[in-house]
């Protein structure tokens, strides 16, 4: 049935798709909800119309999915790594073959631009290929002991793993969690976000088509209650969660009751530091990439942009000009660079942050308003204009704030258009297309300010001074530091946070350690020496 959804994608356009197929998947097939009560509408962000209904799974359905996964795990875990790899490579091939159709469905459900979605789908099949390549390399080690005795270690799977995904990268996060889990010999039960539930089941069908045992990758729909059932289930060995800090804390607390392993990829309020000796053109492009991908709904975005005071005027003039020029509109058009936010409540939340910033003394240098595209079918969509925030409480040359505003594109006046560290827009994760720009004077000062946050997911620095670049990278209290670029996260590189941005890692070889466990086997070749 899913194939019919994908097959309709080439002719589909914004505002035309309605999804009626079941979104749950276990036992090798889509599964209809047992009851239609508590159904929640899923909206198409670009139009505001209802795309489908999401019916949350109850306790019996969750248990059925987990039992299905456990049965498949018993078969999959006994296969050689190379056997698992062949199946995974076939899944990657199928995704690559259908990338345009999957990307289009992702756009309709999520609102990101088709350009970004295509990149996400490519990242998805590459991630499966990458972990397929590692599946055959999983091994322990041999240790020689005295007297001819020896020991060896076995790297073994955990069992049934649970993945709980976010709505900003629906299909991609599904693959980033399932690929290492399957490579290590585990099964996975995956719960997508209730706001973007449509494409996870597509991956389940692709795995099935590629040849995994029925039940190896299951999809259960639902919100907090379904998530709680998954975290508490006795047959679940691990939970990998991507989402907000408050929900991450609850996942950790629930999983701790039965001592489940947990990986948490949570929020961020990452600093991007731009020194006066940078290549300004690259720094401006880096700041835009750090703030406006996926409508700013990216956890590792560099939303606190620290700019050395001497180049603040030039930086602001250029970044404001380019932000104003970002084409906002129909996300399925190749020329669009910013689509709608995920939902009306999220749009209202982001606009509320902009309003709060104004009350606290920030000045909106551009954007920050609801945006209504010219296309009539997009009138109900959740669009806003990308925003750059500064402050207007410092007067220039004795002028008034009003005069300062009138001189908006005057280079002198722009030199003081910046935010303060104590503003809500600078301290809290907004998760929308809002950039806050702050001035700094010295390296020592900006490192202290950049690290003065409870988050620690990512960071960035632009400078031509290679010694300074590495010095700053070493000083950042964050899981990633980008030098002279931003938001470059290939599958080969570990990704995860410090502090309240979570723990554990996704991507890279190290993730194998988070989806497997070591068993030590000690072999005595002689007689037992006993004290008794």
Which single residue is written with the structure tokens 């010295």? 442
Between the alpha carbon of residue 129 and those of residues 135, 213, 240, 268, the distances in Å are 10, 19, 20, 29
Structure tokens at 35: 């009851």
Nearest residue to 272 (alpha-carbon basis) of 457, 496, 467, 414: 457
* CA 121 and chain centroid, separation: 13
The reported pLDDT for the residue numbered 417 is 53
Spatial separation of the C-alpha atoms in residues 237 and 247, rounded to whole Å: 19
Spatial separation of the C-alpha atoms in residues 437 and 325, rounded to whole Å: 18
Burial pattern 234-264, b for ≥16 Cβ within 10 A else e, equals eebbbbbbbbebebbebbbebbeeeebbbbb
Nearest residue to 361 (alpha-carbon basis) of 450, 438, 301, 270: 438
Q: Classify domain 271-393+416-483 by CATH architecture.
A: 3-Layer(aba) Sandwich (3.40)
Of the listed 265, 317, 429, 477, which one is catalytic?
Answer: 265
Structure tokens at 97: 């073959």
Spatial separation of the C-alpha atoms in residues 355 and 368, rounded to whole Å: 9
Dihedral Cα 29, 35, 41, 44, nearest 10 deg: 10
The reported pLDDT for the residue numbered 393 is 40
Spatial separation of the C-alpha atoms in residues 251 and 332, rounded to whole Å: 35
What are the backbone dihedrals phi and psi of residue 190, each rounded to the nearest 5 degrees, phi first? -115, 130
pTM confidence score = 0.93
HSE, CB side, 13 Å, CA atoms: give it for residue 187.
31
Spatial separation of the C-alpha atoms in residues 402 and 395, rounded to whole Å: 10
Give yes or no for a contact between 196 and 144, defined as CB atoms under 8 angstroms apart.
no
- Write out the CATH class of domain 12-267+512-519: alpha beta
Structure tokens at 242: 């991507």
Between the alpha carbon of residue 147 and those of residues 142, 200, 524, 527, 529, the distances in Å are 15, 54, 9, 10, 11
Q: Domain extents for the chain?
A: 12-267+512-519, 271-393+416-483
Spatial separation of the C-alpha atoms in residues 39 and 37, rounded to whole Å: 5
Is 83 one of the catalytic residues?
Answer: no
Spatial separation of the C-alpha atoms in residues 350 and 368, rounded to whole Å: 9
Instruction: Please list the rounded mean pLDDT of every run of 10 residues in the chain (532 residues).
Output: 73 94 97 92 98 97 98 98 98 98 98 98 98 97 97 98 98 98 98 98 98 98 98 98 97 97 97 98 98 98 98 96 98 98 98 97 96 97 97 38 36 56 97 98 98 98 98 98 97 98 98 98 96 96
Structure tokens at 121: 């789908």
Percent of the chain that is helix, strand, coil (3-state, to 5): 40, 20, 40
Dihedral Cα 21, 22, 26, 27, nearest 10 deg: -60
The reported pLDDT for the residue numbered 135 is 98
């Amino acid at each position: 049935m899913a194939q019919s959804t994908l097959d309709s994608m080439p002719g589909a356009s914004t505002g035309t798709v309605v999804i009626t197929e079941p979104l749950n998947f276990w036992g090798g097939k889509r599964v209809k909800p047992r009851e239609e009560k508590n159904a929640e509408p899923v909206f198409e962000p670009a139009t505001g119309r209802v795309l489908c209904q999401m019916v949350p799974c109850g306790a019996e359905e969750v248990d059925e999915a987990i039992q299905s996964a456990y049965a498949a795990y018993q078969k999959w875990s006994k296969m050689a790594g190379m056997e698992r790899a062949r199946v995974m490579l076939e899944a990657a091939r199928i995704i690559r073959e259908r990338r345009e159709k999957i990307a289009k469905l992702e756009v309709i459900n999520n609102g990101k631009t088709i350009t970004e979605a295509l990149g996400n789908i490519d990242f998805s099949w590459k991630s499966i290929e990458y972990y397929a390549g590692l599946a055959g390399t999983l091994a322990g080690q041999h240790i020689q002991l005295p007297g001819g005795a020896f020991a060896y270690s076995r790297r073994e799977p955990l069992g049934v793993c649970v993945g709980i995904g976010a709505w900003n990268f629906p299909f991609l996060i599904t693959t980033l969690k399932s690929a290492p889990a399957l490579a290590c010999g585990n099964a996975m039960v995956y719960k997508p976000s209730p706001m973007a539930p449509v494409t996870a089941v597509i991956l389940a069908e692709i795995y099935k088509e590629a040849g995994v045992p029925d039940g190896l990758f299951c999809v259960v729909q639902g919100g907090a209650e379904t998530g709680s059932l998954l975290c508490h289930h006795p047959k679940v060995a691990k939970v990998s969660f991507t989402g907000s800090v408050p929900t991450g804390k609850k996942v950790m607390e629930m999983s701790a009751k039965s001592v489940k392993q947990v990986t948490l990829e949570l929020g961020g309020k990452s600093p991007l530091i731009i020194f006066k000796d940078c290549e300004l053109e690259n720094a401006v492009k880096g700041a835009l990439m750090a703030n406006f991908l996926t409508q700013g709904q990216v956890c590792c975005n560099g939303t606190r942009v620290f700019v050395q005071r001497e180049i603040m005027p030039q930086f602001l003039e250029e970044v404001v000009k380019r932000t104003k020029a970002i084409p906002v509109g129909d996300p399925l058009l190749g020329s669009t660079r910013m689509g709608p936010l995920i939902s009306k409540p999220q749009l209202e939340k982001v606009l509320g942050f902009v309003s709060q910033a104004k009350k606290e003394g920030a000045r909106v240098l551009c954007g920050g308003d609801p945006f209504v595209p010219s296309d009539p079918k997009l009138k109900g969509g959740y669009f806003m204009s990308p925003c750059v925030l500064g402050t207007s409480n410092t007067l220039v040359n004795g002028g008034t704030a009003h005069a300062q505003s009138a001189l908006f594109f005057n280079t002198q006046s722009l030199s003081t258009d910046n935010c303060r560290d104590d503003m809500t827009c600078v301290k809290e994760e907004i998760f929308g297309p809002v950039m806050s720009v702050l001035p700094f004077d010295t390296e020592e000062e900006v490192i202290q300010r950049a690290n003065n946050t409870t988050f620690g997911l990512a960071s960035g620095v632009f400078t031509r001074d290679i010694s300074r670049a590495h010095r700053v990278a070493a000083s950042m209290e964050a899981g990633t530091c980008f030098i002279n670029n931003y938001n470059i996260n290939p599958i080969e590189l570990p990704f995860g946070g410090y502090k309240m941005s979570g723990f554990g890692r996704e991507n890279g070889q190290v993730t194998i350690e988070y989806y497997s466990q070591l068993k030590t086997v000690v072999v005595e070749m002689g007689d037992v020496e006993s004290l008794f």
